[in-house]
């Protein structure tokens, strides 16, 4: 990817991420988060992580954000009113962000392995297939792809999710289902504090 495209996608991601915080309308904030996810997916694709970038669009920018928008509109959340600026909170937040940036910069500067170009570090796919067979992982399609020096990234992620993290995946699905049902129940609950309407005369 050309260098200027990288900076464009970074600006899109950070700009819409800031809009999520500063916009008062919850629907606008959710749509801004979708655009931030799109910029992040473009960065993943620029690193040749096509599968992760596709998942970023389909799962996060697609399914999860549609669920968020559904919940926001179902609960009829109003735009937040502007309040007086809290100086201590702003100063504390800026100090926290600066500390995080300094810490990330110091860690990445000291990580020598991260300064090498990925093309100079070819993946040992054949060695990976041998290691998988030695560990007892004998999924034929994955091992054949590795022996053919093809990276089966989607197959590897699927194997990991439905073997090692199968229970965790099901728990996340149940939590999302319970959250959706809970929002529907809360939105349909009658307001008991509202005065009852008088019966119309026949």
What CATH number did the domain enclosing 33 receive? Answer: 1.20.120.1200
Task: Report yes or no on 154 lying in a domain.
Answer: no
| Structural tokens at position 35 | 């655009």
Angle, CA of 44, 61 and 100, to the nearest 5°: 60
- Which is more confident, 119 or 14? 14
Give the C-alpha separation, 74 to 81, whole Å.
Answer: 20
Report the distance separating Cα 36 and Cα 17, nearest Å.
Answer: 6
74 within domain boundaries: yes
Residue positions counted in the chain: 202
Question: How many angstroms separate the CA atoms of 38 and 34, rounded?
Answer: 6
| pTM exceeds cut of 0.95 | no
Looking at residue 194, the DSSP 8-state letter turns out to be S
Identify whether 160 is part of a domain: no
- Of the ranges 42-46, 113-117, 131-135, 183-187, the best mean pLDDT one: 42-46
pLDDT digits 0-9 by tens, 74-116: 776 666 666 677 788 888 989 999 999 999 888 888 887 777 7
The first and second tokens of residue 15, run together, are 């700009």
pLDDT of residue 99: 94
% of the chain beyond a pLDDT of 70 = 84
- Whether residue 88 lies inside any domain: the answer is no
Quote the domain boundaries for residue 48. Answer: 1-78
Element (H, E) at 152: none
**Cβ–Cβ < 8 Å for 29, 20:** yes
Q: What is the pLDDT of residue 133?
A: 83
Tell me whether residue 175 is in a domain: no
pLDDT at 142 over 80: yes
Compare 59 and 11 and report the one with higher pLDDT: 11
Q: Which two tokens stand for residue 143?
A: 């091992």
Cβ-based neighbours of 39, under 8 Å, separated by 6 or more: 9, 10, 12, 13, 14, 16
Spell out the long-range contacts of 42-46 with Cβ–Cβ below 8 A and sequence spacing 24 or more: 42/5, 42/9, 42/12, 43/6, 43/9, 43/10, 43/13, 45/1, 46/1, 46/5, 46/6, 46/9
Structure tokens at 41: 């997916």
Q: Is residue 45 part of a domain?
A: yes
- Mean pLDDT, the chain, integer: 81
Q: Is the pLDDT of residue 28 over 90?
A: no
**Least reliable range by pLDDT among 67-76, 143-152, 177-186:** 67-76
- Residue 73 inside a domain? The answer is yes
| Domain count for the chain | 1
Does 132 fall in a domain?
Answer: no
**Is the per-residue pLDDT at 16 higher than 90?**
yes
CA angle, 34 as apex, 31 and 38 as ends, to 5°? Answer: 145
């Amino acid at each position: 990817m050309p260098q200027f495209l990288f900076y464009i996608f970074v600006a899109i991601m950070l700009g819409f991420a800031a809009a999520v915080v500063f916009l008062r309308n919850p629907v606008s904030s959710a749509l801004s988060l979708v655009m931030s996810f799109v910029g992040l997916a473009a960065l993943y694709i620029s690193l040749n992580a096509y599968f992760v970038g596709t998942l970023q669009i389909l799962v996060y920018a697609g399914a999860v954000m549609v669920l968020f928008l559904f919940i926001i509109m179902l609960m009829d959340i109003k735009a937040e009113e502007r309040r007086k600026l809290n100086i201590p909170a702003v100063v504390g937040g800026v100090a926290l962000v600066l500390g995080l940036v300094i810490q990330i910069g110091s860690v990445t500067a000291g990580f020598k392995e991260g300064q090498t170009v990925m093309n100079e570090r070819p993946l040992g796919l054949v060695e990976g297939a041998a290691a998988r067979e030695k560990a007892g992982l004998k999924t034929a399609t994955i091992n054949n792809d590795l022996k053919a020096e093809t990276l089966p990234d989607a197959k590897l992620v699927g194997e990991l999710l439905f073997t090692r993290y199968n229970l965790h995946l099901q728990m996340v699905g149940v939590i999302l289902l319970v959250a959706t049902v809970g929002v529907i129940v809360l939105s349909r609950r009658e307001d008991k504090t509202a005065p009852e309407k008088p019966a119309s005369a026949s």
